[in-house]
Amino acid sequence: MYALKSLDGTTVTIGQDDIEALDASLRGRVCERGSQEYDDARTTWNSMFDRHPGLVIRALGASDVQAAVNFVRDAGLAISIRSGGHQIAGHAVANDTVMLDLSHMRSVHVDPAEKTARVAPGALLGDVDRETQAHGLLVPLGINSTTGTAGLTLGGGFGWTTRKLGMTIDNLLSAEVVTADGAIITASPDSHPDLFWAIRGGGGNFGVVTSFLFQLHDLGPEVLSGLVVHPIEAAPELLAEFVGIADAAPDEMTVWSVMRKAPPLPFLPEEWHGREVLIFAACYSGPLEEGEAALAALRALGDPIADVISPHSFVDWQAAFDPLLTPGARNYWKSHDFETLSTDAVDMLLAGIGSLPDPACEVFIAHVGGVMARVAPDATAYPQRSAHFIMNVHTRWEDPQKDAECIAWARKLHGQMQPFATGSAYVNFMPEDETDPLGGAYGGNAQKLSHIKGKYDPNNLFRINHNIMPT
Question: What residue ranges do the domains of the chain occupy?
Answer: 2-101, 108-218+444-456, 222-429
What does the pLDDT read at residue 434?
83
Return all residues near 39 (Cβ < 8 A) that are at least 6 apart: none
Count of CA atoms in the C-beta half-sphere (13 A) of 41: 32
* Domain 2-101 shares a fold with domain 108-218+444-456: no
Going by DSSP bridges, is the β-strand pair 276-284/55-58 parallel, antiparallel, or unpaired?
unpaired
pTM: 0.96
What does the pLDDT read at residue 435?
72
Reading phi first (left if > 0) and then psi (alpha if -120 to 50, else beta), residue 460 is in: left
Q: Is 2-101 a CATH 3.20.20.70 domain?
A: no
Give me the DSSP letters along 389-422: EEEEEEEEES-GGGHHHHHHHHHHHHHHHGGGS-
Stretches where the chain sits below pLDDT 70 are 437-439
What does the pLDDT read at residue 331?
96
What does the pLDDT read at residue 148?
97
Q: Rounded to an integer, what is the distance from CA 24 to the centroid of its chain?
A: 34
82: three-class secondary structure by DSSP: strand
> Looking at the domain 222-429, which fold is it?
Vanillyl-alcohol Oxidase; Chain A, domain 3 (3.40.462)
pLDDT in tens, 394-439: 999 999 999 999 999 999 999 999 999 999 989 999 999 887 766 6
Query: Which secondary-structure segment (H or E) carries 187?
Result: strand 184-187
Prior bond of 250 cis (ω within 30°): no
> Looking at the domain 108-218+444-456, which fold is it?
3.30.465
